[in-house]
Amino acid sequence: DAGVTQSPTHLIKTRGQQVTLRCSPISGHKSVSWYQQVLGQGPQFIFQYYEKEERGRGNFPDRFSARQFPNYSSELNVNALLLGDSALYLCASSLAEGRSEKLFFGSGTQLSVL
Amino acid sequence: GIQVEQSPPDLILQEGANSTLRCNFSDSVNNLQWFHQNPWGQLINLFYIPSGTKQNGRLSATTVATERYSLLYISSSQTTDSGVYFCAARTTGFQKLVFGTGTRLLVSP
């Protein structure tokens, strides 16, 4: 079975532009979470979606938004890009949410903002 | 929110050596996981271990929830064990898993 897939793998944008990152969860997984990882740090939680509903949001500005589709795939959108948005964006899927949530990560999208 | 601290921050080993990585958390947890991030950035789930002990080959993990810490043991280390090890924890009533800052491991031949 395929793991979590993310696209694109790398992306270069300029300040002020908008970007959309995509994620397909493991087959049968209904929960998708997005994390931002800045070089040298641990992943920081951005959003979680379960059954197409937002279940949690991290401490990120409103420029960040996400959604989950009926097939459980997800998109993360970032508007008005800043240099500080340069990071590895990770998507994780899980079969359940809450205390039983076990995360499986994709390979990430490396975003560079120039 | 919950604070997750890992030690040591960096570790250098010779191939074949054993090591213990520690994760301390500031609140009671209902979910704790260990991950390995390889040099290419891929995060691999090693253990889901909110309490108790688990083993998977050369790796084992123990979480003592009442004392708010978890340990990851690596035995007979190999160069492929190199990378960054993260623990992540969730506390009751909190929606997200919080990651620690990681332990960077380098295993030399």
Q: Read out DSSP for A33-77? A: EEEEE-TTS--EEEEEEETTEEEEE-S--TTEEEEE-TTS-EEEE
- Residue B97: which of A45, A100, A110 has the nearest Cβ? A45
| φ, ψ of residue A68 in degrees (nearest 5) | -125, 135
Q: How confident is the model at residue A56 (pLDDT cuts 50, 70, 90)?
A: confident
Measured between beta carbons, the chain B residues lying within 8 angstroms of A41 are 101-102
Bridge partners, residue A13, by sequence:
A113
Q: Which amino acid is at A15?
A: R
Q: Inspect the interface and report whether the beta carbons of B99 and A43 lie closer than 8 Å.
A: yes
Confidence at residue B96, expressed as pLDDT on a 0 to 100 scale:
84
Of all residues in chain A, what percent carry a pLDDT higher than 90? 86
pLDDT at B40 over 90: no
HEC string of B58-82 equals CEEEEEEHHHCEEEEEECCCCHHHC
Confidence at residue B92, expressed as pLDDT on a 0 to 100 scale:
75
Instruction: State pLDDT tens for residues B56-71.
Output: 999 999 999 999 999 9
Give CA–CA dist A31/A12, Å, rounded. Answer: 28
User: Is B59 an interface residue toward A (CB < 8 Å)?
Assistant: no
B1 vs B32, more confident: B32
Of all residues in chain A, what percent carry a pLDDT higher than 70? 96
pLDDT at B44 over 70: yes
pLDDT at A98 over 80: no
Q: How confident is the model at residue B7 (pLDDT cuts 50, 70, 90)?
A: very high
